[in-house]
Amino acid sequence: MMAEQDYYELLGVSRGADLHTIKAAYRKMAKECHPDKHNGCSEKEAHFKAISEAYDCLRDPQKRAAYDRFGKAAFQNGAGGAQDPFGAAGFEGFSDIFSSIFGEFMDRNGGGRVNPARGADLRYDLELSLEEAFAGKEATVTVDALSACETCGGRGCTATENCARTCGTCGGMGKVRAQQGFFVVERGCPTCRGSGEVIADPCRACEGEGRTINKRKLTVKIPAGVDEGTRIRVAGEGEAGVRNAPNGDLYIFVHMKRHPVYAREGTTLIADCPVTFTTAALGGTITLPGLDGAKVEMKVPAGAQSGEQLRQRGAGMSVLNGRGRGDLVARIIVETPTRMSSKQKKLLEEFRSTETGDECPAAKGFFGRVRDMLGG
């Protein structure tokens, strides 16, 4: 029954409506009842086909004139020379309006020419010492990448004029369409690679691409404070694009070498510092090398325990893209001697004979609880 409705009534326009009004009415209704928006509802699909048939007729002056005079009878049994609106010729017109309505989902360029292929981004892994990351540096990196062809200047051809001609596959649009039912799928043209042009006299050095593989050396500034996994973007230093299309970018990923003294947590430097049990008991001083070349002296308090941390503010790592420095932490590890002279053993025996148990309150408290659990 839907197919028997008047075309003007289907689109909700008057018989004297101009093409702009008809087109606007169809766009609005097509968006509202497109099958993809209604999970393949058969009723919506039938309505969508009906309004598409109506639009295809009324947008064509000859078909519209025939319809106004004879109605749908003008298109039956070959009358009026009209074609099935969903035949080969009719669907081409439909695909154009479909693209104008739903093109935003297929091509952000609004149906214009596809830009020539931009160069690929490159990755470079750079290993730094902790001192280099602390101070920052200018690093020289070498990359093997596609660069603009020196022979043709990146144009891809040897001629100075009329270098390129319009691609015959895509007609200069840089993309081709494939129709699948109601859908129109667009992709980059395989012949011209999206540029819309074909090189008439290709450069022999680059075979018309306008780029060749070369070894390049770059000097890159590494800021102070970088850490493992820091990514530095160098704009425009990636691979060259096809025939002077924009270059890609170079991304430098930082990796840190193991340091002989320090571990790192953000901007904090941590050193595990073994001290003798006499230093831990009586107190003393430890000296650590600062990354800026200065010595960092830290006092060990008398009675220091393993795991105790000594902190020196502002002696740690540089702050990336900021000011100041983090902290330096010395983590005390009390070391028990494994080899002693007879004199040292005698002195320790004398010391043990004088112990009352109050010298080590943690041990006294722990073993007191153990005795209570053992019932004695």
- 273 assigned to a ligand binding site: no
Residue with token string 């008047």: 6
How does DSSP assign 62-86, residue by residue? HHHHHHHHHGGGGGSTTGGG---TT
> How far apart are alpha carbons 329 and 266 in whole angstroms?
13
Task: Give Dmax (Cα) for the chain.
Answer: 127
Concatenated DSSP letters of 246-275? PP--EEEEEEEPPPSS-EEETTEEEEEEEE
To the question of whether residue 149 is assigned a binding role by annotation, the answer is yes
Instruction: Name the residue among 245, 206, 247, 248 with its Cα closest to residue 114.
Output: 245
Token pair of 177 as six digits: 């369409």
167 is in an annotated binding site: yes
3-state secondary structure (DSSP) of residue 325: strand
189 annotated as a binding-site residue:
yes
For 152-189, b where at least 16 C-beta lie within 10 A, e where not — what string?
bebbbbbeeeebbeebebbebbbbbeeeeebebebebb
360 labeled part of a ligand binding site: no
At 175, is the secondary structure helix, strand, or coil? Answer: strand
- 152 annotated to bind ligand: yes
| Residue 57 marked ligand-binding | no
Helix (H) or strand (E) holding 28: helix 19-33
What is the C-alpha separation between 277 and 281, in angstroms, rounded?
6
Tokens 């091509």 correspond to 107
- The annotation status of 203 as a binding-site residue, yes or no, is yes
Q: What is the DSSP string of 178-205?
A: EEETTEEEEEE-TTTTTSSEEESSB-TT
How far apart CA 235 and CA 218 sit, in angstroms, is 12
Give the span between the Cα atoms of 143 and 123, in whole angstroms. Answer: 9
Q: Using H for helix, E for strand and C for coil, what is the string for 93-135?
A: HHHHHHHHHHHHHCCCCCCCCCCCCCCCCEEEEEEECHHHHHH
Compute CA 125 distance to the chain's CA centroid, rounded to the nearest angstrom. Answer: 17
- Binding site residues, as ranges? 149, 152, 167, 170, 189, 192, 203, 206
Detail the residues annotated as belonging to a binding site for Zn(2+).
Answer: 149, 152, 167, 170, 189, 192, 203, 206
